[in-house]
A and B are shown apart, each in its own frame.
Chain A
Amino acid sequence: MRQGFRQSMAWLHTWAGLVTGWVMFAVFVTGTATYYRADLSLWMRPELHAGPSDPVPAAERGVAYLKAHAPKAMAWYVSVPQPDRPMIAVYWMDSLEASLGQAMLDVETGAPTKARDTQGGDFFYRFHYELQMMPVLGRWIVGAAAMILLIALISGIVTHRRIFADFFTFRRDKSAQRGWLDAHNVTGVLALPFHLMITYTGIVTLGVMYMPWGVTAAYKGDDLRFYVEAAQTTTWRPAAGRPGEAVPLAPLLARAQGEVSEPLEMVIVNNPGDANATVVAVFEEPHGLAHQHPQIAFDATSGTVVERVEPLKPAAQVFTSFMGLHEAHFASTALRALFFLCGLLGSATIATGLVLWTVARAPKAGEAPGFGLRLVRGLNLGTILGLPIGMAAFLLGNRLLPVDLAHRATWEGSVFFGAWALAAFVSLLRPHRRAWTELGLAAGFLFGAVPVVGALTTDRGLDFLAFDAAMLGLGLALALGARKVSDYEARRQAARPGPARVPEGFAEA
């Protein structure tokens, strides 16, 4: 908070960026990985082979399983096999308060799957917006951090005098602080439209949760009614309280499919076994930006159509397009790769900004760094390199944990957090400058080990060639970066002898 508009914005950018940086770095990195959620999931379930399957028999098998295992549930959800998840996923809701029950079933038999118990790519996806905490708390933390990041972006743009010139400016050798500042500017400015878009659309994706007051005022808090009127879901019919005999499922699904050109994605049965039960056929999003699934609801006992989700109205179209832009389901291979690169640039912007904070505050030679500086340095290192170490360990854990281990999916999560915490802790015990090199090499080694361990523990030939190449590339990039940092620091120290001239600042690198 200094005098003048630009000065106060510079202050705001510095501090908003710092307090939100660590959480948002983790959110950006895991979100970027989530662009390849399908590929991660397939790699993490090597027992399954991707391939087309007929959705209607799969839906029938899912419903049969739920009839046997959750007959008293309020609602059943059967997600038919997807290219990235060759399994039937069934969920059931016992009450509005209880968490959903779930099971993964074999496509052919409808029995619980023999594939290893793992969250697959969903682990990073859920971490991205819930941090693997209690969902409500995690979502609020991520939302608050994203809002502060939006402020940091706006104030960062204001602070900038020369956005265009910064495209072409990289003064690595002028001084440590200059180099980091330019790196921060280049990565920030190059993908600035993406950074703004992804932050705002991310907040909007959970916008009704963060800002429920419109629904409170206009719908007296009945958010289900809002979602029905906004053409996002079908009406919930209360149970009649007496049993009813449901008509066969397959003809209903065939009739629904006759009206919709997209493939079937999910079948929902509300109040199963009740006289007032409904069956909702949910289809995949049509091609385009907006995030809306065509849905047709049937009366389960008579088989008549009771509701069709209407086309989107303009504001709802914009709202759902924001969500669609964030998730990038529409993106083909090339566009997805571009989103992925932009996500990496965003992660790099945050990382360089965090490092820049410490470089700009480096103590003079002979002065001991204060507590604040040491804390930020430790958190920077523990986050920027600790997280990739955790992610690589998570993938290795997927291959190395025994397949029949109880609560295996939870163990994989523990490997992720355990490796991350261990890396962050070890880095505190080592001299700070050397710790960057060492952790960078460790992260590179772990990513490089993923394809090797994968090849040794699974028998899938060259099925995962692209995935393995990406892991090797990541590992090489991390290891080379670590090498470069240690070389560069050694050269600078050699070039400037004398105790007073040691450029302490660059030791961050």
Chain B
Amino acid sequence: MTEISGPLDRARLRRGWRYRSAVAARVGLAAFGGYALAGLATAFLSLTLPMVRSEAVATATLISFAILAGAVIWVFTARTLLRAALGLGLPIALVGLGLWLALDGVAMGPPA
């Protein structure tokens, strides 16, 4: 914890709707975007990790919460909202594409 001085903080509270909506947008992005990335990654890894499927699911589910935590930290660290959204959207798109391909594989012949 860094020290927070009273007056500075009250000034921050008064910064108005622009600041508040920026915060709200990041909270929303972190919650929904982070969960989307973690959920897609769990599904993708469950289908593609080179193990029997129960092991792949267990591994993917175990690390999914670390992925979620990392995504949330990223959203609040990025310098601008746009960077935060792009930095989250790109992996979501890639993992989503990978999942789509992997699901295609499942339809042709189940791995386990």
The listed residue with most A CB atoms (<10 A of its CB), out of B4, B54, B59, B76, is: B54
Contact between A204 and B6, CB atoms less than 8 A apart:
no
Contact between A318 and B6, CB atoms less than 8 A apart:
no
Q: Which residues of A contact B44 (CB under 8 A)?
A: 217
Please, how many residues of chain A have a CB less than 8 angstroms from a CB on the other chain? 56
Given contacts A1-B22, A211-B39, A218-B47, contact A14 B4 (CB under 8 A): yes
Q: Give the residues from 80 to 112 in chain B that come closer than 8 angstroms, CB to CB, to chain A.
A: 99, 102-103, 106, 112
Given contacts A218-B112, A319-B58, 6 further A-B contacts (CB under 8 A): A12-B73, A214-B57, A217-B99, A218-B43, A230-B57, A360-B6
A185 at the interface (CB under 8 A from B): yes
- Closest Cβ–Cβ distance, residue B53 to chain A (whole Å): 5
B29 at the interface (CB under 8 A from A): no
**When the two chains form the complex, which single residue of A181, A211, A219 contacts B61, counting CB atoms closer than 8 Å?**
A211
Q: Which residues of A contact B13 (CB under 8 A)?
A: 372
Give A6 to B42 CA distance when docked, in angstroms. Answer: 30
Give A213 to B95 CA distance when docked, in angstroms. Answer: 13
A486 at the interface (CB under 8 A from B): no
Contact between A151 and B58, CB atoms less than 8 A apart:
no
Give the residue name and chain of the A residue nearest to B23 (CB). Answer: A1
A113 at the interface (CB under 8 A from B): no
Interface hit among A114-122, A152-160, A282-290: A152-160
Q: Mark B54-84, 1 if CB is under 8 A from A, else 0.
A: 1111111110110011001100110100000
A/B interface sample: 30 pairs, CB < 8 A = A1-B76, A5-B77, A9-B73, A12-B73, A147-B65, A151-B69, A159-B1, A160-B1, A177-B3, A184-B1, A211-B38, A211-B65, A214-B46, A214-B57, A214-B61, A215-B46, A215-B57, A217-B106, A218-B57, A226-B54, A226-B57, A229-B54, A230-B55, A315-B59, A316-B55, A319-B61, A319-B62, A322-B62, A361-B6, A364-B6
Give A147 to B56 CA distance when docked, in angstroms. Answer: 23
Contact between A316 and B58, CB atoms less than 8 A apart:
yes
Contact between B1 and A10, CB atoms less than 8 A apart:
yes
A11 at the interface (CB under 8 A from B): yes
Q: Which residues of B contact A313 (CB under 8 A)?
A: 52, 54-55
Q: Which residues of B contact A10 (CB under 8 A)?
A: 1-2
Contact between A316 and B65, CB atoms less than 8 A apart:
no
Contact between A154 and B73, CB atoms less than 8 A apart:
yes
Q: Mark A152-170, 1 if CB is under 8 A from B, else 0.
A: 0011100110000000000
Consensus secondary structure, chain B interface:
helix
Give the residue name and chain of the A residue nearest to B41 (CB). Answer: A213
- Closest Cβ–Cβ distance, residue A284 to chain B (whole Å): 23
Given contacts A218-B112, A316-B58, contact A229 B64 (CB under 8 A): no
Give the residue name and chain of the B residue nearest to A15 (CB). Answer: B23
Q: Mark B1-35, 1 if CB is under 8 A from A, else 0.
A: 11110100100010000000011001000000000
A41 at the interface (CB under 8 A from B): no
Give A213 to B57 CA distance when docked, in angstroms. Answer: 9
Give the residue name and chain of the A residue nearest to B66 (CB). Answer: A200
Give A319 to B6 CA distance when docked, in angstroms. Answer: 45
Contact between B4 and A151, CB atoms less than 8 A apart:
no
Q: Which residues of A contact B26 (CB under 8 A)?
A: 1
Give the residue name and chain of the A residue nearest to B111 (CB). Answer: A218
Give the residue name and chain of the A residue nearest to B64 (CB). Answer: A211
Q: Which residues of A contact B69 (CB under 8 A)?
A: 147, 150-151, 154
